[in-house]
Amino acid sequence: MGVCSNHLKEQPRLRPASVGLPADADNYMPLILFVKDSGDLFRLPEHNVPVIMVGPGTGVAPMRGFLQERAAQGAKENVLFFGCRDCHELLYQSELEDLETSGYLKLFVALSREPSVPKTYVQNLIEQEADLVVDYLQRGAHIYVCGDASQMALEVRATFQRIAEKIGIGETCVETMVKQGRYCEDVWS
C-alpha cells in the first residue's frame, strides 16, 4: 500500500474533481499536486532481462514497485543497492527481506551513519559487488537510479563507468546505455 496515496484516500474532505462536487461543496478542500513524469524510459524491461536498481532513502519507493512487478512476472535477476543512514531507516525492510528469501532479489544495504559500522554509500557497495555488476552488464542489464541528483547520482554513474572501463566494455558504456534506455535516472536535488 502506498503511504502517500493511501493517506490522501483516507482524507474525508478531499475529493478528486472527476468525482464531481457534492451538495456541500463549500466544505471540501481543493487538492493541488505536482506529478512528475519520469518519461518513457523509466520502465521495466522484459522479465528475462536482469535489472540493477539503486535507491537510497526515499529513492527506494519506485524500486519497490519495480520489485513487486518483477516478482509477479517471475523475474528473479534483480539487484537493489539501498542506502540509508542507519538500520532504523531501512524502509520496507521485511518486504525486501521476503523478496530476498524467495529468490527475487539480491539486496545490498549501505549504512552511512550507523554507529560502530564503517560509513558506506551505495556507490561503495556497487564497487564491492563489481563481479555481479559485470555479469549483469554483460547480459544486457537495465540500471535504474532514483534519489539525490547533486551527489549520489553522479557518484553512482561514475562507479558504473569505472567498472565498465575495467572490463573493457568501453569508455562511453554508461552514455551508450542512457541512449539505449538501459541506464535510467529519476533524480532530484
86: which 3 cell numbers? 542507519
**Res 138: pLDDT:** 93
The pLDDT tens digits for 57-104 are 989 999 999 999 999 999 999 999 999 999 999 999 999 999 999 999
Q: Which of 22-31, 136-145, 161-170 has the least mean pLDDT?
A: 22-31
**Res 170: pLDDT:** 79
Q: What does DSSP assign to residue 140?
A: T
Return d(Cα 174, Cα 78) in angstroms, integer.
19
Q: Which of 9-13, 124-128, 146-150 has the least mean pLDDT?
A: 9-13
Q: What does DSSP assign to residue 145?
A: E
Helix H or strand E segment including 155: helix 152-166
**Res 11: pLDDT:** 73
Q: How does residue 24 score in pLDDT terms, banded at 50, 70 and 90? A: low
Q: Does domain 51-188 have CATH number 3.40.50.80?
A: yes
Cα dist. 25→10, 41, 132 in Å? 18, 40, 57
pTM > 0.85: yes or no: no
41-42-47 Cα angle (round to 5): 95
